[in-house]
Amino acid sequence: MASNTTYGDWMRPIRGGIRNIGRPLTMIGFGVLAVTLMLSMANVVAALVFGVVGLGIVMVLAVRDRQHRNVLDRTVERRAHVASVRSGRALYRSGLLSFEEHGSCLLPGILHKVSLVEASDGFGRRLTLVHHAHTGEYSLIMACQPQGAGLADDDVEDAWVAGWAGLMEALGSELGVTQMAVTVDTSPDSGIRFRRQLSRRIVDDAPDLAARAMAQVMDLYATGGARSDVLLTLTFRYRDARDGKYLQAEEAARRIGQLVPDIRARISAAGGGSPRCLDAQETARLVRLAYDPAASDAFDSQDGCPHVAWRDAGPVACEAHWDWYRHDSAVSRTWQMCDPPASNVTADTLARLLGPLDDCDRKRVTVLFHILPPDRTAFLAEQNRQRAANQVSQEKRASVSAMSQIGKANRQAVETNQGAAIVFFGMLVTVSVTAGEDEALRLAAASHAVEGAAGAAKIDLRPCYGAQDTGFAACLPLGVNLRNYAPPSMMEALA
């Protein structure tokens, strides 16, 4: 039973400007008026035409849909996808029959410059860092064993939530932390490991009744189950104070390793069980299984852990379409969160979305957090409060949404003065089904199940149109920070 404590008061960053259309459009509008006034001194008709056209463009760009996108955003999105398809960037081939060196299956897209770095934590235990060469960041992946709130009292559940808030406040005060991500990966359990474990406990001289009972147990419980893995990924970026360059792997690993014991303790206080750092083999296997889910049966059927090199963790082939993604043995679709719940929620609001869903072979939910440092928290809270007040003052009859915004901004300012941290958060959801016959129908059924679960959680999801490959990679627990990533060929794609 979930606690009755509710959480809410989320708000999007207020753009500011006239009628909250944003400062850039406001400045463009004033620029159009200024040029119109100057042009009217020479030609009134030309000034009227310029003013009407200019202000019309500003008004069109100011209109946004329910996903907060205007016509320019949608046009750029579509043209970028068309350009990637025409240039062949939407296709990827690797392996022995490709041009890759040594026939390796390297990671595609924004993950092509990602590598692994071995290091040690503050207690001398080995850990693996994911190095993002394109942004100079390092990510630490930790596997958690959440205790679950099914049998927890209300005060225990509230204490876990408070511990989670304490973890984010501590990370916000730590220099170098750029992102935290929590990934819940749900997949069907083949039952092979279950059968193997029970078979090892059957003796040759077992009574006939016991042997038949054990066989029935294996038949009844070996299939139909689900496996859930919870991973927490922290992303760091350090710069040298002398020359401003990114730190080398050894120095960055030393700093991150010193933080691991404290982070583990805080995760445990937040109900995360006993977290542990993944090694290179586990990291490579989880990426391989994400791109090729059919390999899970082969991995489970082997005694011991099969070796997967990082250079072979990627797909053999993948292709990005407008609203779905084909990779090796599966097809996937990825959504991004547009708006958080408009009303207050309880601690179990995401339970249905995070749990196993019908018609979904594999599902991955990643919640991204960007914690503001203390020196920026108070400034942003006051800025939001002023912009919300300006929005109300510009309306003759203040709307309910405007009054709600100013109420949230005022409460936010009060809480930040008491030491709270401002956290930007988002969500990515990826669902995968096995490729083959009727894959389109099965992907549509899985998409309906995900969107239904998101609707029950009061979350507005939108497919990552034209960026399914990037969304799939960002949803993996590798710590990809999309806020710091800029495709090198972006201007070329828009041309």
In percent, the amount of the chain with pLDDT more than 70 equals 91
- The answer to whether residue 6 sits within a structural domain is no
In a domain, 400, yes or no: no
d(CA 425, CA 440): 31
pLDDT score, position 486: 67
Using DSSP's 3-state secondary structure scheme, residue 158 falls into helix
**Widest Cα–Cα separation across the chain:** 107
- Is 431:475 a contact under the CB 8 Å cutoff? no
388 vs 122, which has greater pLDDT?
388
Residues found in the chain: 495
Model confidence at 492: pLDDT above 60: no
What's the pLDDT band for 150 if we cut at 50, 70, 90?
low
Q: What are 318's two structure tokens?
A: 């993948």
Rounded to 5 degrees, φ, ψ at 117 are: -130, 125
Least confident of 34-43, 88-97, 98-107: 98-107
Give me the pLDDT at residue 301, please. 67
Return the pLDDT at 386: 84
Instruction: Determine the pLDDT at residue 494.
Output: 38
What is the mean predicted confidence (pLDDT) over 460-466?
91
Tell me the two tokens of residue 261: 């014991």
Cα–Cα distance list, 491 to 58, 101, 113, 366 (Å):
23, 29, 20, 29
Query: 483 in a domain, yes or no?
Result: yes
> Is position 242 within any domain?
yes
pLDDT at site 207? 82
Instruction: Of 70-74, 176-180, 228-232, 446-450, give the lowest mean pLDDT range.
Output: 70-74
pLDDT at site 243: 74
What is the per-residue pLDDT for 444? 94
Q: What are phi and psi of 38, to 5 degrees?
A: -70, -40
Strand partners, 467: none
Residue 40 counted as domain residue = no
Question: What per-residue confidence (pLDDT) applies to 474?
Answer: 94
Per DSSP bridges, beta strands 226-236 and 126-132 are unpaired
Distance, in Å, from the CA atom of 70 to the CA atom of 75, rounded to the nearest integer, reads 9
Token digits of residue 137? 């960041």
Residue 430 has a pLDDT of 96
Asked if pLDDT for residue 416 goes beyond 50, the answer is yes
Q: How confident is the model at residue 452 (pLDDT cuts 50, 70, 90)?
A: very high
Looking at the 3D structure of the chain, how many domains does it have? 1
Q: Side-chain half-sphere of 269: how many Cα atoms within 13 Å?
A: 14
Contact yes or no for 427/338 (Cβ under 8 A): no
| Residue 320 C-beta-side C-alpha neighbours within 13 Å | 26
Can you name the residues that pair with 92 across neighbouring β-strands?
318
Instruction: Using pLDDT thresholds of 50, 70 and 90, give the confidence band for residue 491.
Output: very low
Neighbouring residues of 494: CB distance < 8 A, sequence distance ≥ 6: 76, 79, 80, 83
Instruction: Give me the domain span that covers residue 332.
Output: 92-189+224-372+421-494
How many Cα atoms occupy the beta-carbon half-sphere of 414 within 13 Å? 7
pLDDT tier at 130, thresholds 50, 70, 90: very high
Give the residue among 36, 62, 102, 77 at the shortest CA–CA distance from 323.
77
Q: Is residue 380 assigned to a domain?
A: no
8 A C-beta contact, residue 320 and residue 473:
no
Give 439 or 418, the one with higher predicted confidence: 439
C-alpha distance from residue 65 to each of 24, 258, 364 (Å): 18, 46, 27
56, with CB counted inside 10 A (0-12, 13-18, 19+), is: exposed
**Do the beta carbons of residue 318 and residue 106 sit within 8 Å?**
no
Q: DSSP string of 232-255?
A: EEEEE--B-TTT-PBPPHHHHHHH
Inside any domain, residue 207? no
Q: So what's the pLDDT on residue 495? A: 39
Helix 154-173 and helix 374-393: axis angle, to 10°?
100
Listed in sequence order, the DSSP H helices in 320-438 are: 351-354, 374-393, 400-417
Instruction: Tell me what the mean pLDDT of segment 241-250 comes to.
Output: 79
- Asked if 303 and 317 count as a contact pair (C-beta separation under 8 A), the reply is no
pLDDT for position 191:
62
Give alpha helix (H) positions in 308-349: none
Place of tokens 């507005």: 460
More reliable by pLDDT, 109 or 399: 109
Average pLDDT of the residues in 361-386: 88
Q: What is the mean pLDDT of the chain?
A: 84
Mean pLDDT of 461-484: 92
91-103: pLDDT as tens digits: 999 888 777 777 7
Q: What is the pLDDT of residue 249?
A: 84
In this predicted structure, the answer to whether residue 289 has a pLDDT above a threshold of 50 is: yes
Q: For the residues of 9-70, what is the DSSP string, one character each?
A: ---PPP--SGGGS-HHHHHHHHHHHHHHHHHHTT-HHHHHHHHHHHHHHHHHHH---TTS--
- Among 267, 263, 240, smallest CA distance to 176 is for 240
Asked whether 218 and 190 are in contact (CB, 8 A), the reply is: no
Region of poorest pLDDT, from 77-91, 157-171, 184-198, 358-372? 184-198
pLDDT, greater one: 169 or 401: 169
Judge if pTM exceeds 0.75. yes
Tens digit of each residue's pLDDT (9 = 90 or more) over 302-361: 666 678 889 989 999 999 999 999 998 899 999 999 888 878 888 888 888 998 888 888
The reply to whether 110 falls in a domain is yes
Kindly report which listed range (292-306, 335-349, 414-428) carries the lowest average pLDDT score: 292-306
* Least trusted range by pLDDT, from 10-24, 263-277, 281-295, 410-424: 10-24
Per-residue pLDDT band at 490 (split at 50, 70, 90)? very low
Do the Cβ atoms of 27 and 16 come closer than 8 Å?
A: no
